[in-house]
A and B are shown apart, each in its own frame.
Chain A
Amino acid sequence: MVRKFFDIIANNAVPAVFILISAFAIPLSGFSASYLVQELLTRIGRNSFLILSLLIPIMAGMGLNFGMVLGAMAGQIGLLFICDWGIVGIPGMVLACLIGTPIAIILGIFCGHILNRAKGREMVTSYILGFFINGVYQMTVLYLMGWIIPITNPNLLLSRGYGVRNAVSLSGIRAVLDNLIPTVITNPEGAKQFLNVNGAGSFFLIQLPFFDGTIRIPLATFIIIALFCVFIVWFRKTKLGQDMRAIGQSQSVADSAGIPVNRTRIIAIVISTVLACYGQIIYLQNMGTLNTYNSHDQAGMFSIAALLIGGASVSKASITNVFVGVILFHLMFIVAPMAGKNLIGEAQIGEYFRVFVSYGIIAIALVLHAWKRNREREAARRSLRGGNGGKA
């Protein structure tokens, strides 16, 4: 009984701590409810897709896919091309996805092959692999683009004539997906104001009398995320999903049952990489600017931190974990700087806190994972001892 209770606490310790911190920080920050909700909705739309792309490798027992930055880089290359060609709006996004997909597939196959040679050490391998591919990406973008790879738009290129600028404006596709089906929730009063400002455009106006403030909902993005969730639920029910679960629990058993272990693991990584590519494109259309040399770096680390905060572990993660995680993680992001400022008069403290938190949480999750696995192994051994074995 006590052990069971302890297990529940241990399994949900991370989300519980974050809820507790938020409970203190939200009143301290002094933000209004509608501001918080608006910010959260934007960030859920921005980040969920990236985090969801982590689920499938976890299912296949490959741990947290730090290699998702490979997909993010593929997506950014797609975006650079559409910026150069000046293709805007939804067609631009679709084209960026189309360009990114083959690159992500190739990188995913490459990553999968390498991870198959580093079984049991997938996480650290994919992490380092991320650095390696980052080097290749930087060489491509900094030297080859505009020299060998034709980039003609002078706004993209560095003044020396080749290499891409550090910051690229994605004004052509900024928020096109978020605003594809513009939706606003407000109260009748706010509705009047809103219409005065924006004119009677093609808005879905949802009026809630009790609602205080005005928030916009990135409905199209949410629909895509919902479709993705449906995909994952369906995927779990397929033979391929079942095989991945089997491999995730015991590679040797799966192998002896005739499941093609290595191939299946590569498929898992390819799916994850391609989805991360799309995730990064969705993320950047919301941001509106591409930080050519840094955007992808943060994508991996923050997505993984968010997933872990949602209560996932290295070996087990669900869709619920994704959304709990993205809400708690970003709630922290939003309120921590303001709370820090109001508390100590120092906004920096919040910034420190969130960097500290995202790295710290990954470290804790890895330690917890090792600790749990040892405990399970210990329990398995205990059951082997007969007679008086248990008590000593």
Chain B
Amino acid sequence: MSANNNAPLLQLEHIGKEYYGNRVLSDISFSIEAGEILGLVGENGAGKSTLLNILFGMPVIASTGGYEGNLYLDGKPVHFTSPNQALSAGLGMVHQEFSLIPGFTATENILLNREVLNGSLMSYVFSDRVSTLDRDAMRHRAEAAINTLGVHISPDMTVSEMPVGYKQFIEIAREIDRKNTRLLFLDEPTAVLTEQEAEILLIALKKLSKQGIAIVFISHRLSEVKELCSRILVLRDGTLVTDVPAKTLTTREMASLVVGRESSKKEEAVEVEIPEQPVEEENINETLGTTTLSKKKKKKKPALKVEHLWVDMPGETVRDVSFEVQKGEIFGIGGLSGHGKLGIPNGIMGLYPAGGKVKLFGKKLTLNKPRAALSRKMAFVSEDRRGVGLLLDEPLDWNITFTAMQTQGRFLFGIPYIFQMRNELAMAKETKKFIESLSIKCTGPSQKAGELSGGNQQKVCLAKAFVLRPDILLICEPTRGIDIGAKALVLDTLKEYNRENGTTIIITSSELEELRSVCDRVAIVDDGEIVGILPASRPAEEFGMLMMGEKMRVALEYTE
């Protein structure tokens, strides 16, 4: 350790990584000194997790062809091939999701697999595993680790009974207890904490760094990063775009670095198509005696009105969401993954347990029943194309007409409820129509959906939704996993469909740029709640600020 005193604790030199010819990291170089706190920020897919995987020697890296560049620990080159090697070299990792055992006490969790053992004769005969545990010594060590953090948690408390914030501390205590931990990586440690808990955590981290432990703090909450860290690294699209002292950046600058769009793009986005306002609704309001209100302020009945919606979708929990979508509008829902943006459409369609109020053209929608949503002329394109969206082993015509057949009784002949058969001719005809209009590349209506490429499968999903002739179309991740050419086509199709039929479309996507180019307004979801709804013409960094947890509620009325 002391061989090279002036060498940095950890140094990265030209680190790069490709997954199957897809470059995810290129030329990352930076170094960390002992006791330094480094902030690492970046969007989803910016390469943060790949970087961590490389540093911790995760098997996935080696199995996909290793990485480029060199790692130096205390000035000596290292190459970890398993997480255990990295751990024993002094790297510690606190994961985003808790890896604690719920039924164990704090002590048992902190010392998991590092228990203090009583020596016994048996352990010579067999292995250490038949030695009994020294509970007292374990308790002392756990207490010491918890105390380093400056919090008060009883080491005998069971984890399942702890408030969420405590669990985070226990995770960190576990890493501290490892005597040689010198460099601690924290992946979104404050995501689950309340504000006070987060504050205590930041204080604890500062305390740790004073003891010489270097910390890499990964977070999307820029104000926390700014407060805690001495240096900030911004990753974008696999490259390191900034490595500067934290003082020199404002959170706004940081946000725009993270999102990373040049301001020249703003101008073209301003030209947003404004959908026609439905005239009959104005009349309704007039009859209600609201004519005294100025024309601009008058209340219209929205196509979709969501109030206090919660959705219990694993990994995409929606806590409390309210918004309105006007008829004929294209509404975007964006935000980082895992914050609940996908939960909103899935919850409205009834695919996951949900609660709250959803009104469709002023009438209440029954939640938790996909059938109810479908029969109200809503259509849904799932983000899980191969799982929920398609019947992979069935032909295209089945796929496209299936939902219409089930919920609207179309493409059938015979006597309803008694004896009905598929109308293969009508199915094929309809399918051919869509194959042509969406230019789906296939051999014909009888090809199996599973044999198509991702982009074409997505078009089939769209066709399946269009066949329903929906009033409202909900689309999740329309361009996920499809190539660039197909992306443009899918988005154009949506715009065109909106223009021609006046269909209200709600698009959920992780790609902010895509939302800004298609939508009229974009809502940003953070931590299960909508933190702001902005017209798409606003500059990208404003969206970036919202995504990065800057709590500024900019609820702009679109109609104003």
Contacts and interface: CB of A to CB of B under 8 A. Distances in A.
Nearest to B367: A392
A193 interface: no
A239 B117 CA distance: 7
Interface in A187-221: none
B133 interface: yes
Given A387-B320, A388-B310, A252 B84 contact: no
Candidate in A246, A252, A254 with the most chain B CB atoms within 10 angstroms: A246
Given A250-B101, A258-B84, A387-B320, A242 B312 contact: no
Contacts of A237: 132-133
A20 interface: no
Contact of A252 (B99, B131, B355): B99
B129 A239 contact: yes
Contact of B112 (A253, A381, A384, A385): A253
A259 interface: yes
B108 interface: yes
Contact of B319 (A239, A246, A253, A387): A387
Interface in A346-392: 381, 384-389, 392
Candidate in A238, A250, A254, A386 with the most chain B CB atoms within 10 angstroms: A238
Contact of A242 (B99, B102, B133): B133
B132 A246 contact: no
Contacts of B69: none
A381 B83 CA distance: 31
Contacts of B320: 386-389
A381 B312 contact: yes
A223 interface: no
A345 B113 CA distance: 61
B42 interface: no
B43 to A, nearest CB: 24
A98 to B, nearest CB: 19
Interface in B496-531: 528-529
A325 to B, nearest CB: 23
Contact of B101 (A246, A384, A388, A389): A246
A242 B105 CA distance: 12
B101 A243 contact: no
A212 B246 CA distance: 88
Interface residues of B, number: 30
B103 interface: yes
Contact of B113 (A243, A384, A385): A243
B59 to A, nearest CB: 12
B319 A389 contact: yes
Contacts of A386: 310, 319-320, 528-529
Contacts of A246: 101, 104, 108, 112-113
Nearest to A237: B132
A188 B84 CA distance: 70
Contact of B133 (A238, A253, A256, A388): A238
A234 B129 CA distance: 12
Nearest to B163: A383
Candidate in B113, B130, B528 with the most chain A CB atoms within 10 angstroms: B113
Contact of B104 (A240, A249, A385, A392): A249
A257 interface: yes
Contacts of A242: 108, 115, 133
B128 A239 contact: yes
- Chain A interface mostly: helix
Contacts of A389: 310, 319-320, 355
A237 B120 CA distance: 13
Interface string A244-271: 0110011011101111000000000000
Candidate in B129, B310, B319 with the most chain A CB atoms within 10 angstroms: B129
A253 B159 CA distance: 13
Contacts of B317: 384-385
B356 A392 contact: yes
Contacts of B355: 388-389, 392
Contacts of A239: 115, 117, 128-133
Interface string B94-120: 000001111110001000110101000
B102 A250 contact: yes
A384 B312 contact: yes
A239 B112 CA distance: 10
A73 to B, nearest CB: 27
A277 to B, nearest CB: 20
B101 A238 contact: no
A201 to B, nearest CB: 40
A238 B129 contact: yes
B367 to A, nearest CB: 9
Given A246-B101, A388-B320, A389-B320, A238 B132 contact: yes
6 contacts: A239-B128, A242-B108, A245-B104, A252-B99, A386-B529, A387-B320
3 closest Cβ contacts across the A-B interface? A392-B355, A386-B319, A240-B129
Interface of A: 234, 237-240, 242-243, 245-246, 249-250, 252-254, 256-259, 381, 384-389, 392
Given A240-B130, A246-B101, A259-B113, 16 more contacts: A240-B129, A242-B115, A243-B113, A246-B108, A249-B102, A250-B101, A254-B112, A257-B99, A258-B113, A385-B310, A386-B319, A386-B528, A387-B310, A388-B308, A392-B310, A392-B355
